[in-house]
Amino acid sequence: MSFTIITLIPSLQNTNGDAENAAVLAARARWAGHEASVVAVETPADLPEQVDAVVLGSGSDSSLDAARAALLPFHDDLRRWGTEGVPILSVGTGWELLSWGIELANGHVVEGLGILPGRAVTGDGERRIGDLVIRSPRFGRLVGFENHARDYLQAEASPLGRTQAGAGNGRGSGQEGVVMGNVFGTHLHGPVLAKNPAFADALLTEMAGRAGVAYAPGAQAAEVDGYAHAARSSQLRAAGLDTD
């Protein structure tokens, strides 16, 4: 089986390397014996015929308007992919751009694409920076690093998980991220799929299932996952939590 993973507008949305989550999916698919490619998509003309997963990384606030304008031509595609169950991973401002809207501290509002419920709103003035650990009902414990100035509201019915360390969505919600089917929004930087192999494998299982084939992690994944486990353990200890 051959999989195609796309990264949307990585020229604007890869500030923290989160677009490289696509490379994680492709590598793990290859280790499992499948062919896989990553396609950078800046305009609709770049779209491949087949899309098995979508990654939208995080960008800077200064480019939010430009990023929204670049994403707008993909609105119908994103709707269709979400309806069809194509895994879509959005991180940081990439997630916020898929929401109902983004409220900036200067009063400017960037209208979101309305793919995911909720909206990003100004916080208390303190930037949320540090370790972020959550417990997800679908993926177990997820670790990463958060770096955001906004809170996220109206995602209470569908969070990615509950926070064990860090602010997550903020406003005392005790929650992090948002999920709608196979569309995910999160503050977890890392890239999140490199630090959390179970999350990556769950997305690959969805991809394989849609294609009518099986997915099982390859032998090389076990070696790489050992490095991920060590990094996770170090981060969990630093956050004052028990290791896996």
pLDDT, one tens digit per residue, over 21-65 is 999 999 999 999 999 999 999 999 999 999 999 999 999 999 999
Q: What is the pLDDT of residue 195?
A: 95
H or E stretch covering 236? helix 219-238
In sign, the C-alpha dihedral spanning 49, 26, 192, 173 is positive
Q: What pLDDT score does 157 carry?
A: 77
For residue 88, the domain's CATH number is 3.40.50.880
Report if residue 214 sits inside a domain. yes
Residue 244 confidence (pLDDT) above 90 = no
Count of Cβ atoms closer than 10 Å to residue 176 Cβ? 30
> Does 229 fall in a domain?
yes
So what's the pLDDT on residue 214? Answer: 95
In a domain, 143, yes or no: yes
Rounded mean pLDDT, 110-134: 93
At residue 190, the pLDDT reads 85
- Residue 155: per-residue pLDDT: 83
Domain of 171, in residue numbers = 2-238
Asked if residue 243 belongs to a domain, the reply is no
Average pLDDT over residues 119-126: 88
The stretch 165-183 carries a mean pLDDT of: 95
* Of 147, 149, 144, nearest in space to 188 by CA: 144
244 in any annotated domain: no
Over range 154-180, report the average pLDDT. 93
Reported pTM: 0.97
In the chain, the number of structural domains is 1
How many CB atoms sit inside 10 A of residue 155's CB?
23
What pLDDT, on the 0 to 100 scale, is given for residue 87? 98
